[in-house]
Chain A
C-alpha cells in the first residue's frame, strides 16, 4: 500500500477544500471500496479525508419524498420505514448487495461511487485505461463476460457494479452536492459517465465535490429490483433490472426501467418506457418491450448471454411489479430481488 496522510474532516466545507487543493487526495466514508483498492495499489492517494464523522447521516421525509444523508449506511437506508414502504426497489437493491457486514459499513454516497469490478482494473500487471489512462484495455481482447452491452467505447467496456444505483436511476433520484464551486443538484441519471475517451472519469463530480444527500422524489407507484448472479447471495449482479410503474386505472401511466450490469452507468431503457405508456399490462406487451430494450445491444466476445438473460429479467420484473406474477419473496427484501435465490421457505414478515 502506498503511504498516505489521514485527516478527519471537521466540516463539509473543510473536507471539500482539503481534497480540492491536492490533485490526488480522496474522500473515504465506509471504506469498503477505498480500503480494498488501496490494498490492491489501484488507488494511491497522498491524502485521505475521512468524511464518515460529518453530520450527514440523517434520513428524513422531505417534500413528499425521502432525503437520505450521504453517510447513512446501506443497512439504515434499506430498513428506513418510508423507503421500505414507498420505494421497495431501493431496499431490495441494497439488501441483495454485498453482505450484512459490508452493508453495515457502506454509505449511501460511497455505494454509487464504488469502482468497476472489471478484473483487469484491479490487476496492476494488465493495461487498463480506467486505472492508467492511455495504457490500453485488457478486457476488449480478453475475457469480457462481465462487461458492457451498451454505451461502451474503444477505450473501455467496463460496467458499473452498484445495485443501488440501478434502483436510484429508475426512480429519478437526485444527488445533492457541495463542491469547490458551491452546492448543486445532479439528476442521478446524469451522475455516471459513459467511458468515451476518458474512462478514468466515472462520474461528473468535480475533484473535491462532496455528496451531501441522495433525494428520492415523491412517487406513488410500485417499484421493484431483480438481480441475477453467479451464486445465491454475496455476489455482484451479472445483469439486473429496476422498474418503477405508475398506473392510471387499468393502464400504465408511466413506466421507468433501468438495467444494471450492462453499461458504465445504470442504463435507462427510455424508448422502451415510451412503448408501455397507455397500455394495459400483459405478458405479450412486456415481451415486446424487453425485445426493444436490447435491440441496440452490442455484445463482446463473451457476454452475449446477457441479452436473453436481460430480456427475461425485464419481462419478469415488469410482470412482478404490475402484479401479474407474484414476487419471489416479501417486497423490500433480498428474497424478492434474487433470481434463483436461497433454497427454502421465506417466513412471511411479522
Chain B
C-alpha cells in the first residue's frame, strides 16, 4: 500500500465513522480488487436473490456479481478464471439460463433468480449433472468444474440443446475452457445426464 492510498483509506474510514449507522454497515463492501486511490463511487443498497435466499448488501456499483458472490457472500464455488468473459469458470444461472458472473454487474443482477453451484444440489441429493461428473471423472484439478457443471446443467433445460450429439455438446460447451483438458470425460458425463 502506497502512502497516498494509506492516507486515503484512513480518511475514508474516519469519514465512515462519522456517518449514520446504515452506511457504517458497509466496510466489507469494496472488494480489494476495486480499491483505488480516487475511489469516490457511492455505495448502493443491493438485493440479490441467490439460491432462493435474499441477500441485502451495500455495494460499489462497480462490483461484478462474481466478486459479490465470492468476496461479500463467501460463496466461493463460482470461480474467477479470466475475469473477462473468456473462460466460463464463473458460469452461474440467471433466471435459469447460463451467464457469466464476471461480466455481470451485481447491481444489474437484482430481480433475477441467481443460481450458483452451491444451490444446484437439493439438500444432500446431487444434481444429476454433478453425479454424472463424479461418475465419469470429468475433472482433474477441478478449477473449471463448477462452471462446466453450471453450463451443462443449463443445457438440460435448453430446448435447443437438450439432446445433443457429442459434436453439438462440444459446440454448446465451447464457452467453458479446461486447462487440464478433461474434455472427453466432460462430454461423456453430459451425454449420460442428457440420456437420463
Contacts and interface: CB of A to CB of B under 8 A. Distances in A.
B62 interface: yes
Contact of B85 (A36, A343, A344, A347): A36
Interface stretch (B20-28, B71-79, B93-101, B120-128): B93-101
The contact size tier of chain A is 35 or more
Contact of A102 (B38, B85, B161, B171): B85
Nearest to B38: A3
A121 interface: no
Given A36-B103, A100-B151, A104-B98, A346 B175 contact: no
B22 to A, nearest CB: 19
A1 B67 CA distance: 13
Contacts of A4: 41, 61-62
A99 B34 contact: no
B105 A31 contact: yes
Interface of B: 34, 36, 38-42, 44, 60-62, 64, 83-85, 88, 91, 94, 97-100, 102-105, 107-108, 151, 154-155, 158, 160-161, 163-168, 170-176
A181 interface: no
A49 to B, nearest CB: 12
A298 interface: no
Contacts of A343: 167
Contacts, number: 107
B167 A32 contact: no
Nearest to A103: B175
Contacts of A105: 94, 99-100, 103-104
Interface in A168-204: none
Given A6-B107, A50-B108, A52-B108, A346 B160 contact: no
A101 B175 contact: yes
Given A6-B61, A100-B151, A100-B175, A342 B170 contact: yes
A161 B153 CA distance: 30
Contacts of A50: 107-108
Contacts of B175: 98-102, 234
B66 to A, nearest CB: 10
A346 B98 contact: no
A345 B84 CA distance: 32
B167 A345 contact: yes
B110 to A, nearest CB: 9
16 contacts: A5-B61, A6-B105, A31-B103, A31-B104, A32-B100, A32-B103, A35-B104, A35-B105, A36-B85, A100-B154, A101-B99, A101-B175, A105-B94, A105-B100, A105-B104, A347-B165
Contacts of A1: 34, 36, 62
Contacts of B176: 99
Given A39-B83, A342-B170, A3 B98 contact: no
B174 A234 contact: yes
A6 B85 contact: no
Interface string A231-261: 0111000000000000000000000000000
Contact of A104 (B97, B105, B168): B97
Given A6-B44, A105-B99, 10 more contacts: A6-B105, A32-B85, A38-B62, A50-B107, A100-B172, A232-B174, A233-B171, A342-B167, A345-B167, A346-B165
Nearest to B95: A104
Contacts of A100: 98, 151, 154-155, 158, 161, 172-173, 175
A286 interface: no
A345 to B, nearest CB: 6
Contacts of B107: 6, 50
B100 A102 contact: yes
Given A5-B41, A39-B83, A335-B171, A104 B99 contact: yes
B62 A347 contact: no
Contacts of A39: 64, 83-84
A289 interface: no
Contacts of B88: 99, 101
A334 B84 CA distance: 23
Contacts of A335: 167, 171
A109 to B, nearest CB: 16
B79 to A, nearest CB: 14
Nearest to B170: A342
A94 to B, nearest CB: 12
